[in-house]
Structure 1
Amino acid sequence: MSNAAISFTRIPPCSARAAELEAGDLLEIVDPEGEQVCDLVAFRRDDLREYLSSGRSLDYASKLWLGTGDLLYSNRSRPMFEIVADDVGRHDFTLTPCSRDTFRILYGHTDPKPGCEGNLEMALAPWGIDRDRIPIAFNVFMHVAFDGDGRISVLPPKSRAGDRILLRALMPMVVAMTACSAPQSNNGRFKPIDFRVLRGDDAARVAAASAAGT
């Protein structure tokens, strides 16, 4: 990993944070303790109607699991991210962010918490993005499996402490990320997520180190 002196921001368990990216920035997301999911959503900064699209990304990649070298596309079929490095190689882009209704319907909670959907809404409020505009997230480190009948299983993430994914922004964006609130997603223990945005020389050094495998 590069020695770039850019500190990480910690997303506490069961919460979310947002940031702005410029084209060319690197977004580094780290699982500091292992087996924790980060729901990521993104919107084009100068036109928030354009957003990161699960359907477009999976369609153009012709596969369910995206990793190093793959592109993540917008609903307008324009590349938003390139996956530059990926320690885990297993993420989900099919399930929606957990919500109050998720906890009520799947877990039987009578006083459900906001979940990732509610946390993303709060993080994105300064940009006027409300709950109804939050799409399917790129669920970083989430381990979802499908059997021969199409049944879905949410399994413990394969990420270990310190594992990361590195995404290159291909347009100016607003992004929001969570430390997921759903116990199925994180093997029953709520943990934080760390992230940082790298620009200019720092981004170049980290990208070069990743390409060199260091």
Structure 2
Amino acid sequence: MVFEITPRSGTAFLLNKGQKLTVIDPRGEQVADLLAFSRADPREVISSGRSLDYASKLFLSTGDPLYSNRSKVMLRIIADDVGRHDFLLTPCSEDTFRIIYGDEHPHRGCFGNLAEALAPYDIAPDQIPCAFNVFMNVQVDGGTGALTVEPPLSKAGDSIVLEAEMDLIIGLTACSALQSNNHAFKPIHYRIDDPVA
């Protein structure tokens, strides 16, 4: 079964060890913020610092593991149509829209959507780390280190597949930032598949 996350919203769900999570961009150029928490102890969370450090690269794709803050593999990328995702930038929030875009009445962003979706799992807002930003295209200037957010490279129907290496709580959004999504808000689809017996 394929589930839909409506534009500028988010959800949370359980993912068992061995299950595969497929995140799909049904229309193209739409980012999805992905979080993972250990179900055994939600203080163990997905870590961009650990994952990028151990991979020795900025852009993770097929075969790369996503580590926790305790240096355990939480998820592994097993298929990837796009090959460009971001693991540097934090989930957009009311403050993002106020500080970067100057919005007087800002949307709560992915951070607010994730906080609401994760609350039933007793995960507080301050526990939300930097997300693995699926399909987000962040460019880094090699000379100055300046970051620019470019349109996602994902086309309609492109996907990434991640396999859980522990029992997890997952947070997932259809990103709320105009700049990240080439100035249009679209849905994100996802599917969970059990291991093949």
Aligned residue runs from structure 1 range 116-131, under 5 A: 116-131=110-125
TM normalised by structure 2 equals 0.98
Is 1:91 matched with 2:85? yes
- Aligned residue in 1 for 2:72: 78
Match of 2:132 among 132, 138, 154: 138
124-133 vs 189-198, greater mean Cα deviation = 124-133
Q: Is the 8 A contact 2:68 2:74 kept in 1?
A: yes
For residues 37 and 46 of structure 1, the distance between their equivalents in structure 2, rounded to whole angstroms, comes to 28
For residues 129 and 15 of structure 1, the distance between their equivalents in structure 2, rounded to whole angstroms, comes to 18
Aligned residue runs from structure 1 range 47-66, under 5 A: 47-66=41-60
- Aligned residue in 2 for 1:157: 152
For residues 72 and 117 of structure 1, the distance between their equivalents in structure 2, rounded to whole angstroms, comes to 20
Residue identity in the other structure for 2:159: R
Is 1:16 matched with 2:7? no
Is 1:40 matched with 2:34? yes
For residues 69 and 191 of structure 2, the distance between their equivalents in structure 1, rounded to whole angstroms, comes to 25
TM normalised by structure 1 equals 0.90
- Aligned residue in 2 for 1:208: none
Match of 2:170 among 169, 172, 175: 175
Indicate the RMSD between aligned Cα atoms, in angstroms.
0.7
- Aligned residue in 2 for 1:4: none
1:19 to partner: Cα distance? 1.0
Q: Is the 8 A contact 2:34 2:171 kept in 1?
A: yes
- Aligned residue in 2 for 1:188: 183
Structure 2 residue matching 1:118: 3-state secondary structure: helix
Give per-residue Cα distances to partners, 1:144-188, cap 9 Å, x unaligned: 001120111000000000000000000000001000000010000
Which consecutive residues of structure 1, in runs of 5 or more, have no partner in the other structure? 1-6, 205-214
Q: Is the 8 A contact 2:60 2:83 kept in 1?
A: yes
Structure 2 residue matching 1:197: 3-state secondary structure: strand
For residues 69 and 200 of structure 1, the distance between their equivalents in structure 2, rounded to whole angstroms, comes to 17
Q: Is the 8 A contact 2:20 2:195 kept in 1?
A: no
1:58 to partner: Cα distance? 0.2
